[in-house]
Amino acid sequence: MTVSTASTVTVRVLLFASYAEAVGQASLTLTLPAPATVSAVLRQLRSLPAGARLPERPLCAVNLAHARLDTPVSAGDEIAILPPLAGG
Amino acid sequence: MGFLSEQPLDLAKLVAQVASPERGGIACFLGVVRDHHEGRAVLRLEYSVYAAMAEAECARVVAEAEAKWEVRVVLEHRTGTLEVGDAAVAIAAAAAHRDAAFAACRYVIEQVKRRVPIWKREAFADGTVAWVDPTGAGKPAERRPDAAPEVPAAPDPAGHTDWGV
């Protein structure tokens, strides 16, 4: 288990709908080297055994707002990986 | 908040919320579960939602519409399982005149479909279920209910990181 220090960033990652089914879980905690971006979160996620099923460039959100892949992430942030939206 | 509803949507209630003596035009939109998708018979839809973000994004969309036009807008989106004919989304936009009401109503439904984190799984008459992918990218993530999950379809590579208005 990695201990979060000033040189690492621990974030909560949420998966939804088809992505949650593909990975087999709806939430997990990841610890990354600081400074980190959404892209780094995705890279680590896709390196997990079931994470390779996720696309390289999915829609993402940070703390309830749409985010770009180069958006920085901070300790405690909530990162969501969103399948193609289908509301309405 | 309260843009998400587990109960049937009531358009008349939304109209009453935006109506006022100085607003002479009220435009409404009702999105309803249809009975077919790409030529196949649909029995029902099951909505899945990232509730905290959906509420926040709906609030942003309504605020944007009310900033762009002199309108008052209300919006509700259903969650849970819906049958064919059930209303999935309801919008009422009221303005002094019809142009602003129509424009705001149209803006809100387009932005909801583009930005609000909601997903739906269709149950087809032939017993299969599939997550709806409006981007049309990749093959449909179709599977039997008892089968192993499929790899999700790839997202639309174009433009999905730009959420500017």
Q: Are the beta carbons of B99 and B28 closer than 8 angstroms?
A: no
Query: Which residue of chain A is at minimal alpha-carbon distance from B151?
Result: A53
Query: Which residue of chain B is at minimal alpha-carbon distance from A70?
Result: B161
Strand-strand pairing, A59-62 and B71-78: unpaired
pLDDT category, B136, cuts 50, 70, 90?
A: confident
Decide if A85 touches B, using CB distance below 8 A: yes
Decide if A72 touches B, using CB distance below 8 A: no
The pair of structure tokens assigned to A80 is 């969501």
Q: Are the beta carbons of B65 and B108 closer than 8 angstroms?
A: yes
What residues of chain A lie within 8 A of the CB of B48, using their CB?
16-17
SS3 A19: helix
Q: What is the pLDDT of residue B91?
A: 98
- With an 8 Å Cβ cutoff, are A53 and B151 in contact? yes
Q: What is the pLDDT of residue B137?
A: 66
- A2 within some domain: no
Decide if A17 touches B, using CB distance below 8 A: yes
Domain that holds residue A75: 8-82
pLDDT category, A6, cuts 50, 70, 90?
A: confident
pLDDT in tens, B11-50: 999 999 999 999 999 999 999 999 999 899 999 999 999 9
**Cβ neighbours around A1 below 10 Å, total:** 5
B156 or B25, higher pLDDT: B25
What residues of chain B lie within 8 A of the CB of A68, using their CB?
161
State how many domains chain A has: 1
pLDDT in tens, B94-103: 999 999 999 9
Q: Are the beta carbons of A67 and A61 closer than 8 angstroms?
A: yes
Name the one residue in this structure whose structure tokens are 């009310």: B66
- A26 within some domain: yes
- With an 8 Å Cβ cutoff, are B153 and A18 in contact? yes
State the Rg of chain A over Cα. 12
Q: What is the pLDDT of residue B110?
A: 98
Average pLDDT for chain B: 87
> Best interface-test mutation with B: which of A18, A68, A69 has the largest number of B CBs within 10 A?
A18
Nearest alpha carbon to residue A32 among A74, A66, A71: A74
CATH number of the CATH domain containing A32: 3.10.20.30
Query: Which residue of chain A is at minimal alpha-carbon distance from B121?
Result: A17
User: Does position B138 have pLDDT exceeding 50, yes or no?
Assistant: no
- A18 within some domain: yes
Structurally, at CATH architecture level, domain B4-135 sits in: Alpha-Beta Complex (3.90)
Name the one residue in this structure whose structure tokens are 């400074």: A35
Decide if A51 touches B, using CB distance below 8 A: no
Of all residues in chain B, what percent carry a pLDDT higher than 70?
A: 82
Distance (Å, whole) CA B60 – CA B44:
29
- With an 8 Å Cβ cutoff, are A66 and B115 in contact? yes
pLDDT in tens, A23-40: 999 999 999 999 999 999
pLDDT category, B146, cuts 50, 70, 90?
A: very low
- A87 within some domain: no
- A1 within some domain: no
How far does chain A reach from its first CA to its final CA, in angstroms?
Answer: 42
Distance (Å, whole) CA A87 – CA A34:
35
Of all residues in chain A, what percent carry a pLDDT higher than 90?
A: 91
- With an 8 Å Cβ cutoff, are A86 and B120 in contact? yes
The pair of structure tokens assigned to A34 is 């600081």
